[in-house]
Amino acid sequence: MPASSLSIRTVAVVVIATLTVLTGCATQEQPTSLPPPAISAETATTLTPELDHLHALHIRADGTILAGTHTGVVALTADGTTSRVGASDNDFMGLTGVPGSDRLFASGHPGPTSSAPNPLGLVASEDGWQTWTPRSVAGQIDFHALATNGQLLVGFDGINRLLVSTDDGTSWTTGASLAAAALTITDHGVWATTPAGLQHSTDDAQTFTIVPDAPALALLAAAPDGTLWGIDTANTVWRSPDGTHWEQRSTISSVTALVARDAETAYAANGQSLYTLS
């Protein structure tokens, strides 16, 4: 074999070997993206006895979880025991309370033992749902969603509009035209879950804008510290410190109500189960 051919072959082998080593080093040094963290499934506590059409949850001043149902108000304990609160058997479809207090507002339909107008309009309780007094719009409006922070009360009229009150529901003014599945209020404004997505108002529910990149939430609740918790249409639990940055937390089975205790804990429930979310 001529010397020139040997030299060319030798150089070629060296070049290929060098490229192989360099390529291997480059491959090893390239950063790799980590897979997203696994989302755990929450374990449910069975409610005993089961509840009829659970609509909403509230945490009373003493920490008790209260549930508005098709047949009145029920207290829930950590072990799943349910017990009736008060004598009312009204169907409380819309229900809210001042966070961490016994000041509560509700709407819906009279129960079998009630002589109240249908719909109830707005009724109020100052003793943690033991007793109720009519407040306004009786026989006129069935609020399907309600939210309050103690100064502002916002309700969805069940058709196509929000109503706003600054005197605990004694009188109302017209708010935005919006079909809200859930409402809540923080220091940052009023929040609503809608068919178009999560929406936010900074002018006391007069106008709303869609929150970009927010999950498709069906349920929404605010803790007293302003933390927002939500559950999307696929039953994934989300948490946000400000309503714009959302973090996946866990997955649960289908629920009908959500309430937030603080930044670390919230509760979700249906008629059969209670979930402690963290």
- Quote the pLDDT of residue 40: 81
In a domain, residue 6? The reply is no
Helix (H, G, I), strand (E, B) or coil at 31: coil
Q: Is residue 118 part of a domain?
A: yes
Q: Round to whole Å and give the CA distance between 68 and 58.
A: 8
Please list the alpha-helical segments (H only) found in the chain: 3-29
pLDDT tens for the chain, 278 residues: list them.
444 433 333 333 333 333 333 333 333 333 332 344 567 889 999 999 999 899 999 999 999 999 999 999 999 999 999 999 999 999 998 999 998 899 999 999 999 999 999 999 999 999 988 999 999 999 999 999 999 999 999 999 999 999 999 999 999 999 999 999 999 999 999 999 999 999 999 999 999 999 999 999 999 999 999 999 999 999 999 999 999 999 999 999 999 999 999 999 999 999 999 999 99
Measured between alpha carbons, how far is 76 from 270 in angstroms, rounded to an integer?
12
How high is the pLDDT of residue 34?
34
Find residue 84's DSSP bridge partners: 74
Whole-angstrom distance, CA of residue 34 vs CA of residue 247: 17
Range of the domain at 116: 43-277
Any domain includes 33: no
Q: What gap in Å lies between CA 176 and CA 269, rounded to an integer?
A: 29
pLDDT for residue 37: 52
| Counted domains in the chain | 1
In a domain, 26, yes or no: no
pLDDT score recorded for residue 1: 45
Which pLDDT value is given to residue 203?
A: 98
Is residue 37 a contact partner of residue 240, using CB atoms and an 8 Å limit?
A: no
Name which of 246, 206, 242 is nearest 230 in CA terms.
246
- pTM beyond 0.75: the answer is yes
Which residues, listed in sequence order, are joined to residue 40 by a DSSP beta bridge? 250
Q: What is the pLDDT of residue 38?
A: 61
**Rg over CA atoms, the chain:** 27
Which among 76, 102, 104 is positioned nearest to 92, based on CA atoms?
A: 104
Tens-place pLDDT, residues 260-271:
999 999 999 999
CATH number of the domain to which 139 belongs: 2.130.10.10
Do residues 206 and 192 make contact, with C-beta atoms less than 8 angstroms apart?
Answer: no
Q: Does residue 9 belong to any structural domain of this protein?
A: no
Residues ≥6 apart with Cβ < 8 Å to 24: none
Closest CA to 261 of 220, 216, 223, 204: 223
Residue 22: inside a domain, yes or no?
no
Query: Is residue 87, in this structure, part of any structural domain at all?
Result: yes
Q: What are the tens digits of pLDDT across the range 113-129? A: 999 999 999 999 999 88
> 92 is written with which tokens?
């409380």
The angle subtended at Cα 124 by Cα 121 and Cα 126, nearest 5°, is 180
Residue 180 lies in a domain: yes
Report the pLDDT value the prediction gives residue 79, as an integer from 0 to 100: 95
pLDDT, tens digit, 9 for 90 and up, residues 225-268: 999 999 999 999 999 999 999 999 999 999 999 999 999 999 99
